[in-house]
C-alpha cells in the first residue's frame, strides 16, 4: 500500500474487538520503503501522462488550452475568387491571386526567372495606382519570388511603396537598426521561443503608422517564425454581430498603462517588461522623456525608483481614413498579460500533433508564472495593462 495504515499483528482489519491475547507492539513502517513506493507511483503517473500526450496530443491540447482546431481559418473558393483589382494586376506583367480574402499574393509570371529588387521597385512606382487599389480593396499584399537578397535592396522596394518612411519607433518591442540602412530594423529582439500576438502597430498613439512593410529572406527556425495577418475590420464585424459585445465596446475607450524600468534596475521576472525607458525614448534624462511624452499626448510620471509610467486613452474602434470602414483598432492583444498565454495556446491548436505540445507547455508555464506574480503584485505593476473607459464612439 502506498498510503493508508496496515492493521497491527493480532488484530483483523474489520474486527470489532481485539483478538485473544496480548498483541505485540506494531512494527514501525520503513520510511524508505514508503518513499520508494510513492516515487514509483509518481513515476507511473508521469509515464501515463507522457504516453497519453504521445498517443493523443490533440486531445491534450484541446483539454489544456482554450482553443480548438476548428478555430483555424478556412476559406471557400468563392472567398478566394479574383476581384477586379486582382485581374488588373494580372495585366501588369505579374501573377496575382488571393490566398485569403484580405491577402493578395504577387509573384513573377516566370518563377524560374525572378526579377530583381530594382525591377520590383520600378514596377511599384510605375503601377502605383493599381497597387494602391488592390491594397485598399483587400488589406495586405505579399511579394514572393522576387530577387530581393539584402536589407538594402528591401529598403529600395519599401521606398518605392512609400517615400515617407519613419525612423522614430515608440512601440513596445525591443528592436535593432540594420547596418547600412536608414529605415530597416528587426521586427522584435525576443528569445526564439517568444511569440508576438497579432496587433496593429503602435495603435496606442494618436497618429499610428498607416503602413507597415515586412521582409524575410531566411528562416532561422525549424518551426515557427510565421507572421500572422489579421483583418481587423473583419474582427470588429465579428464582435459587433453579437449584441452584448457590441454594447460592451461600441462608443467606449481603453486606457493603457505601460511601465518602463530604468536600465540600472530592469525587471528580471516580469515578461511584460520588455525594454527600459531609455531605449523607448532614446533619452538619458527624465526631463527629456517627459517632453517627448507631452508631444505624444502621453500622461507620464516617474516614481522614486526612476520607473516610468505611461497612461493614455484611445478608442476601441477607429474609422479607416480611406475606406471609411470601422476597424477594431487597439493594442489590447499586446498590453494585457493574458494575451501572451492565449497566443501560445492558439499556436498549439494551429500546429497540432506532437509539435503543438511545445507551445502548449510554454503557455502553461507563463500561465503559472502570471498567476504566481499576480499574488504578489496588482496588475497595474506589470509591464503593461489595460482598462475600460467611457468615451464618444469611433474616431479617425
Render pLDDT for 336-358 as a digit per residue (tens, 0 to 9): 989 999 999 988 988 888 889 99
pLDDT over 90 at 395, yes or no = no
Q: What's residue 265's pLDDT?
A: 86
Query: How does residue 17 score in pLDDT terms, banded at 50, 70 and 90?
Result: very low
pLDDT at 295 over 60: yes
User: pTM to 2 decimals?
Assistant: 0.80
Q: How many residues does the chain have?
A: 396
∠ CA 388-389-391, nearest 5°, is 135
Q: How confident is the model at residue 60 (pLDDT cuts 50, 70, 90)?
A: confident
Instruction: Name the residue with cell 464582435.
Output: 239
Between CA 125 and CA 131 the distance in angstroms is 9
Cell 530597416 sits on residue: 184
Grade residue 25 by pLDDT with cuts at 50, 70 and 90.
low
Which is more confidently placed, 16 or 329? 329
Question: Is 23 or 104 the better-scoring residue by pLDDT?
Answer: 104
Among candidates 350, 354, 385, 375, which has minimal Cα distance to 71?
A: 350
Residue 205: name the closest of 234, 176, 172, 229 by CA: 172
Q: What is the mean pLDDT of residues 171-179?
A: 88
Cβ contact 318:205 at 8 Å? no
List the beta bridge partners of residue 328. 317
Tell me how far CA of residue 26 lies from CA of 1, 6, 257, 347, in angstroms: 16, 9, 65, 57
Residue 364, pLDDT above cutoff 90: yes
Q: Is the pLDDT of residue 253 over 90?
A: yes
Would you place residue 40 in the very low, low, confident or very high pLDDT band (cuts 50, 70, 90)?
low
The pLDDT of 36-54, averaged and rounded, is: 63
Question: Is the torsion defined by CA of 184, 219, 342, 380 positive or negative?
Answer: negative
Q: How far apart are CA 43 and CA 104, in angstroms?
A: 52
pLDDT of residue 11: 39
Which pLDDT does position 390 carry in this prediction? 63
Mean pLDDT, residues 134-144 taken together: 95
Which runs of consecutive H residues, i.e. helices, occur in 67-127? Answer: 84-90, 117-126
Q: How far is CA 13 from CA 6, 8, 9, in A?
A: 8, 9, 10
Question: Residue 136: pLDDT above 60?
Answer: yes
**Percent residues over pLDDT 70 in the chain:** 83
C-alpha distances in Å from residue 222, one per residue of 219, 226, 365: 8, 11, 22
Render 130-152 in DSSP notation, one character per residue. HHHHHHHHHSEEEE-SSB--SHH
Q: Which residue has the higher pLDDT, 60 or 147?
A: 147
According to the model, what pLDDT value does residue 381 have?
92
Query: What average pLDDT is seen over the chain?
Result: 85
Q: Which of 256, 298, 267, 266 is nearest to 281 (CA)?
A: 298
Report the range of poorest mean pLDDT among 1-15, 75-89, 212-226: 1-15
pLDDT band, very low/low/confident/very high, at 284 (cuts 50, 70, 90): confident
CA distance 28 to 5: 11
Instruction: Give the pLDDT mean for 367-382.
Output: 94
CA pair distance 86, 95, nearest whole angstrom? 9
| pLDDT > 50? residue 39 | yes
Q: What is the mean pLDDT of residues 84-101?
A: 96
pLDDT at 69: 67
Q: For 186-209, what is each residue's pLDDT tens digit?
A: 888 888 788 888 899 999 999 999
User: pLDDT category, 35, cuts 50, 70, 90?
Assistant: low
pLDDT digits (tens, 9 = 90+) for 296-314: 999 999 999 999 999 999 9
Please report, to the nearest 10 degrees, the dihedral formed by the alpha carbons of residues 264, 268, 274, 275 taken in order: 10
How confident is the model at residue 392, as a pLDDT?
A: 52
Q: How confident is the model at residue 8 (pLDDT cuts 50, 70, 90)?
A: very low
When pLDDT is averaged across residues 76-83 and rounded to a whole number, the result is 94
> Percent of the chain having pLDDT more than 90?
59
Checking if the pLDDT of 374 tops 80, the result is yes
Whether residue 120 has pLDDT greater than 90: yes
Amino acid at each position: 500500500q502506498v498510503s493508508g495504515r496496515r492493521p497491527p499483528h493480532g488484530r483483523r482489519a474489520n474486527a470489532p474487538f481485539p483478538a485473544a491475547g496480548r498483541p505485540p507492539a506494531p512494527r514501525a513502517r520503513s520510511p524508505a520503503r514508503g518513499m520508494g513506493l510513492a516515487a514509483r507511483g509518481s513515476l507511473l503517473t508521469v509515464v501515463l501522462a507522457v504516453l497519453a500526450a504521445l498517443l493523443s496530443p490533440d486531445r491534450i491540447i484541446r483539454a489544456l488550452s482554450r482553443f480548438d482546431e476548428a478555430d483555424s481559418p478556412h476559406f471557400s473558393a468563392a472567398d478566394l475568387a479574383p476581384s477586379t483589382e486582382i485581374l488588373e494586376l494580372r495585366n501588369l506583367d505579374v501573377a496575382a491571386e488571393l490566398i485569403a480574402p484580405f491577402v493578395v499574393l504577387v509573384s513573377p509570371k516566370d518563377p524560374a526567372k525572378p526579377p530583381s529588387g530594382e525591377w520590383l521597385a520600378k514596377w511599384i512606382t510605375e503601377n502605383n495606382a493599381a497597387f494602391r487599389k488592390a491594397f485598399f480593396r483587400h488589406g495586405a499584399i505579399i511579394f514572393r519570388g522576387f530577387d530581393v537578397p539584402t536589407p538594402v535592396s528591401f529598403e529600395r522596394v519599401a521606398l518605392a511603396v512609400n517615400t515617407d518612411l519613419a525612423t522614430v519607433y515608440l512601440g513596445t518591442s525591443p528592436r535593432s537598426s540594420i547596418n547600412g540602412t536608414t529605415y530597416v530594423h528587426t521586427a522584435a529582439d525576443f528569445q526564439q521561443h517568444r511569440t508576438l500576438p497579432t496587433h496593429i502597430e503602435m495603435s496606442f498613439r494618436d497618429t499610428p503608422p498607416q503602413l507597415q512593410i515586412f521582409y524575410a529572406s531566411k528562416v532561422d527556425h525549424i518551426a515557427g517564425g510565421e507572421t500572422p495577418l489579421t483583418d481587423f475590420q473583419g474582427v470588429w464585424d465579428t464582435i459587433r454581430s453579437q449584441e452584448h459585445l457590441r454594447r460592451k465596446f461600441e462608443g467606449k475607450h481603453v486606457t493603457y498603462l505601460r511601465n518602463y524600468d530604468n536600465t540600472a534596475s530592469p525587471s528580471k521576472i516580469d515578461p511584460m517588461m520588455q525594454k527600459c525607458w531609455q531605449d523607448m525614448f532614446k533619452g538619458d534624462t527624465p526631463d527629456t522623456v517627459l517632453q517627448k511624452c507631452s508631444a505624444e499626448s502621453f500622461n507620464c510620471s516617474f516614481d522614486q525608483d526612476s520607473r516610468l509610467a505611461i497612461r493614455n486613452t484611445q478608442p476601441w474602434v477607429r474609422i479607416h481614413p480611406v475606406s471609411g470602414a470601422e476597424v477594431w483598432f487597439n493594442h489590447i492583444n499586446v498590453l494585457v498579460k493574458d494575451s501572451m498565454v492565449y497566443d501560445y495556446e492558439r499556436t498549439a491548436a494551429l500546429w497540432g500533433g506532437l509539435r503543438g505540445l511545445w507551445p502548449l507547455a510554454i503557455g502553461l508555464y507563463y500561465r503559472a508564472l502570471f498567476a504566481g506574480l499576480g499574488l504578489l503584485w496588482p496588475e497595474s505593476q506589470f509591464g503593461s495593462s489595460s482598462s475600460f473607459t467611457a468615451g464618444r464612439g469611433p474616431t479617425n
